[in-house]
């Protein structure tokens, strides 16, 4: 490779060790170059430009038996420092005025702590979608399990924030703002450049010359109601404890989300420079 890459720092790591590197994460999703292909089990990791917090590449190692060990690399064009890396996205999340107004952060006085889950990086359209769950866990009861409370999604400099994934994604709709579905103190959107279609410029940090904001609440052939139902189906699958059912439900949800975004992106006659340049390494 012409440029050196570095592993992003894991800002969500609450352990005493400082500046821990972000570990790779397993995801069940369509392969980076597969469009709406059948979801595959992958071990993924974003990579930053050396000595920088901008994203440089995305690496996926296939973990399915048929293509086990095959690496796929999406590399941003050299000199294109326009896609925010995980550290920048984490800073965007934790300093967002709307998110900070959420009463969820006042639960510390009620014996609960807020925990940031894994910050996932997912290739989507001509850029990358970041997804992070927020949990609360009892600070007074040992062995307590974290409880999912919020989901944050980031695309460019736009932030979606809701009680579940579908609600967070709905913030990207035109006229919506961050936390649209939540009753947050102060109301409105206190963030600059966050939320849905209130800005006429492309998302900062997105290597694209056209907007990548959903054009309508229906998302073409996929509706938010379908995504919501897929989330409920996934929760029901978890309760069965059947890995096959869980995998199928996760795959369906991932496909709906990707199709919702792609089919609801307005077409544009302009080219989209700066999109990742895919390359494959030989199978191991």
Domain-wise residue ranges, the chain: 83-279
**What's the pLDDT tens digit per position in 14-48?**
665 556 899 999 998 888 876 667 888 999 999 99
Residue 231 has pLDDT above 70, yes or no: yes
Instruction: State how far the Cα of 165 lies from the Cα of 168, in Å rounded to an integer.
Output: 5
**What's the pLDDT tens digit per position in 66-108?**
889 999 999 887 766 578 999 999 999 989 988 888 877 765 5
Looking at per-residue confidence, does 20 or 59 come out higher?
59
Instruction: State how far the Cα of 75 lies from the Cα of 160, in Å rounded to an integer.
Output: 26
Looking at per-residue confidence, does 140 or 203 come out higher?
140
Instruction: State how far the Cα of 12 lies from the Cα of 20, in Å rounded to an integer.
Output: 9
Q: Extract the runs of DSSP E, i.e. beta strands, from the chain.
A: 5-6, 25-29, 40-49, 55-62, 71-75, 112-116, 120-124, 127-138, 147-155, 158-162, 277-281
- Secondary structure, 3-state, 146-166: CEEEEEEEEECCEEEEECCHH
Provide the pLDDT confidence category of residue 130 given band limits of 50, 70 and 90: very high
Query: To the nearest whole number, what is the mean pLDDT of the chain?
Result: 75
Q: Which among 131, 119, 117, 206 is positioned nearest to 162, based on CA atoms?
A: 131
Q: Which two tokens stand for residue 74?
A: 């999406």
Q: Is 100 helix (H, G, I), strand (E, B) or coil?
A: helix
Instruction: State how far the Cα of 26 lies from the Cα of 43, in Å rounded to an integer.
Output: 4
First-last CA distance in the chain: 18
Give every CB contact of residue 2 below 8 A, 6+ residues apart in sequence. Answer: 78
Dihedral angle, C-alpha 44, 48, 53, 55, nearest 10 °: -70
Please give the model's pTM, rounded to 2 decimal places.
0.66
Q: Which two tokens stand for residue 244?
A: 């096959």
């Amino acid at each position: 490779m012409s440029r050196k890459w570095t592993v992003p720092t894991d800002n969500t790591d609450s352990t005493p060790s400082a500046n821990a590197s972000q570990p790779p994460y397993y995801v069940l999703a369509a392969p980076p170059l597969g469009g709406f292909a059948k979801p595959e089990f992958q071990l993924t990791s974003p990579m930053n430009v050396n000595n920088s917090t901008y994203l440089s590449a995305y690496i996926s190692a296939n973990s399915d038996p048929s293509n086990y060990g095959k690496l796929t690399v999406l590399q941003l064009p050299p000199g294109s420092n326009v896609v925010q890396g995980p550290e920048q996205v984490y800073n965007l999340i934790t300093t967002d005025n709307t998110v900070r107004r959420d009463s969820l952060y006042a639960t510390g006085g009620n014996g609960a702590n807020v925990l940031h889950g894994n910050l996932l990086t997912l290739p989507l359209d001509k850029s990358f979608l970041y997804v992070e769950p927020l949990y609360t866990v009892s600070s007074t009861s040992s062995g307590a399990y974290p409880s999912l409370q919020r989901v944050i999604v980031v695309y460019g400099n736009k932030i979606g924030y809701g009680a579940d994934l579908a609600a967070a994604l709905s913030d990207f709709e035109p006229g919506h703002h961050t936390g649209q579905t939540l009753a947050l103190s102060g109301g409105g959107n206190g963030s600059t450049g966050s939320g849905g279609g209130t800005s006429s410029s492309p998302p900062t940090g997105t290597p694209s010359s056209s907007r990548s904001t959903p054009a309508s609440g229906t998302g073409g052939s996929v509706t938010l109601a379908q995504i919501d139902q897929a989330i409920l189906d996934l929760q029901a699958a978890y309760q069965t404890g059947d890995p096959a059912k869980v995998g199928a439900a996760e795959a369906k949800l991932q496909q709906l989300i990707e199709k919702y975004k792609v089919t609801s992106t307005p077409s544009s006659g302009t080219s989209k420079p700066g999109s990742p340049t895919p390359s494959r390494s030989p199978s191991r």
